[in-house]
Amino acid sequence: MTAKLANPVVTGVRCLSDVYRGSFAGSIYSLSSGQGKCGVAVIRVSGAEAGTALKEVGRFVRLPGPRRAVLRRLWHPVTARLIDRGLVVWFPGPASFTGEDSCEFHVHGGPAVVTTTLQALGSIPGLRPAEPGEFTKRAFQNGKLDLTEVEGLADLIAAETELQHRQALRQMEGDLASLYSGWTQRLTTSTASLEAHIDFSEDDNLDDGILEKGHLLSVSRLTQSPKSRFTDGCLLGWYKT
């Protein structure tokens, strides 16, 4: 029976998650839809206090059903003043973008409304403004995204052309992770065959030239794969390192 190989991307996520664990303490909030006047602004909250934020600002006795948009009046927890009427959505962890309890406030995009909503969230104990990219960092930390998907997400946000858009989507959908996994499996198989050849090279059960005919050729072809990927732009991330 062939042993199942560990996915290198998943393994990397787990190792780095241990390093990052505890680095992003507390619950966070941030404007997710960008600065400037707009029809609708989205403010996201993630962490253990996300449910509290939803109850305080939305005046819920019990949290709404998960992943359902609910129209609600929103209030400042300290001043008790009405902020706006908008949609709220509750995402209990781990079924959320970050893997933590999360919620979103969809409010009108005027600067005063957005500023007051952020101030209201900041008045709740345990909540703090998010660092740049911290929602994605938490998604990575909790295993919701791997490194290639994180890079694909950054590329998708920065994409300005159709080609960049398509490339970023491919990476987010796991094309690059699957490619890396395939390379790892081929290298592992070739390494195992090489070790067997070294240990049992004098065994009559091994055909002459099997190493040269098979796995050395496979490794030779494998070394050409990254080069070809450079030419068609499939490994954009490699140019950044």
Kindly report the average pLDDT of the chain as a whole number. 79
Stronger pLDDT, 194 or 235, i.e. the higher one: 194
CATH topology of domain 1-24+131-241: Four Helix Bundle (Hemerythrin (Met), subunit A) (1.20.120)
Q: What is the mean pLDDT of residues 29-55?
A: 94
Q: What is the CATH number of domain 28-130?
A: 3.30.1360.120
Stronger pLDDT, 25 or 18, i.e. the higher one: 25
Judge residue 76's burial from the number of C-beta atoms within 10 Å of its C-beta, 0-12 exposed, 13-18 middle, 19 or more buried: middle
Helices (H) and strands (E) in the chain, counts: 9, 6
Q: What's the confidence (pLDDT) of residue 216?
A: 57
In this prediction, residue 29 has a pLDDT band, given cuts at 50, 70 and 90, of very high
Q: Tell me: the pLDDT tens digits for 173-227?
A: 766 666 666 677 777 777 776 776 677 666 655 555 555 555 555 666 666 655 5
The DSSP element (H or E) to which 71 belongs, if any, is strand 70-75
Judge residue 188's burial from the number of C-beta atoms within 10 Å of its C-beta, 0-12 exposed, 13-18 middle, 19 or more buried: middle
Q: Write down the domain spans for the chain.
A: 1-24+131-241, 28-130
Q: What is the mean pLDDT of residues 120-128?
A: 97
Q: Record the pTM.
A: 0.67
- The DSSP output letter for 66 is B
Stronger pLDDT, 231 or 149, i.e. the higher one: 149
Q: What's the confidence (pLDDT) of residue 123?
A: 97
Are 79 and 60 in contact by the 8 Å Cβ rule? The answer is no
Are 41 and 108 in contact by the 8 Å Cβ rule? The answer is yes
Distance from C-alpha of 167 to C-alpha of 234, rounded to nearest angstrom: 7
Q: What is the mean pLDDT of residues 153-172?
A: 84
